[in-house]
C-alpha cells in the first residue's frame, strides 16, 4: 500500500469548520510540539495553548489554538479546539481591549455572569497578545 502524499487537515471549533489539503502540520501538544507528515503513525493528542501551522507547498499558515485535541491518521489530521484563529488576523489593539473587557467581567462577581464565556474571552485575548509578541507586531 502506497503512502499518502498529502494530508487532509480538518480544523473544528465551536464557531467554524475548515478543511485544507496540506503537506505538513505542526501542533502544540500538551507533551510538546510535534510535526505530522503524510503517512504518520496514528495518534491522539491533547493540545495546549500555542501556535500551530500547516504548509501547502512553500506557503506556511500560522494559527493560534487552545483547549483541544488532535487525531492523526496517515492521510488526515483533525484538530478539535475551543479556539483556532489565524495569526495574521490577530490585532493587538483588539486584544488589549478584549483583555480589559475580560478583566472587568472577572472583577466584581455579578450573579448573571457567564464564567465560561469570560474565561474563553480571556484565553483568546492572551493568545492574541502572545502571538503579537512573538511576531513582534506593534513594537
- The whole-number pLDDT of residue 75 equals 96
Our CA dihedral for 92, 68, 49, 122, rounded to 10 degrees, sits at: 50
Kindly report the average pLDDT of the chain as a whole number: 83
Q: For the purposes of burial, counting CB atoms within 10 Å of the CB of 135, is it exposed (0-12), middle (13-18) or buried (19 or more)? A: middle
* Alpha carbons 33 and 85: distance in angstroms, whole number: 18
Average pLDDT over residues 45-64: 93
For domain 90-135, the CATH architecture is Up-down Bundle (1.20)
Average pLDDT over residues 41-50: 94
Contact of 24 with 7, CB cutoff 8 Å = yes
The CATH number that domain 7-87 falls under is: 2.60.15.10
- Domain locations along the chain: 7-87, 90-135
Q: What residues are paired with 63 via a beta bridge?
A: 52, 86
- The whole-number pLDDT of residue 53 equals 95
- The whole-number pLDDT of residue 118 equals 76
- The whole-number pLDDT of residue 22 equals 97
Whether pLDDT at 132 is above 90: no
- The whole-number pLDDT of residue 47 equals 95
- The whole-number pLDDT of residue 2 equals 83
Amino acid at each position: 500500500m502506497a503512502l499518502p502524499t498529502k494530508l487532509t487537515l480538518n480544523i473544528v471549533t465551536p464557531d467554524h469548520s475548515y478543511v485544507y489539503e496540506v503537506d505538513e502540520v505542526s501542533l502544540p501538544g500538551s507533551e510538546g510540539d510535534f510535526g505530522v507528515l503524510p503517512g504518520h503513525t496514528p495518534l491522539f493528542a491533547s493540545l495546549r495553548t500555542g501556535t500551530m501551522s500547516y504548509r501547502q507547498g512553500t506557503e506556511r499558515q500560522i494559527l493560534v489554538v487552545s483547549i483541544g485535541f488532535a487525531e492523526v491518521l496517515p492521510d488526515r489530521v483533525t484538530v478539535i479546539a475551543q479556539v483556532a484563529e489565524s495569526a495574521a488576523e490577530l490585532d493587538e489593539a483588539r486584544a488589549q481591549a478584549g483583555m480589559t473587557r475580560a478583566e472587568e467581567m472577572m472583577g466584581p462577581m455579578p450573579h448573571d455572569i457567564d464564567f465560561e464565556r469570560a474565561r474563553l474571552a480571556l484565553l483568546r485575548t492572551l493568545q492574541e497578545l502572545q502571538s503579537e509578541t512573538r511576531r513582534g507586531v506593534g513594537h
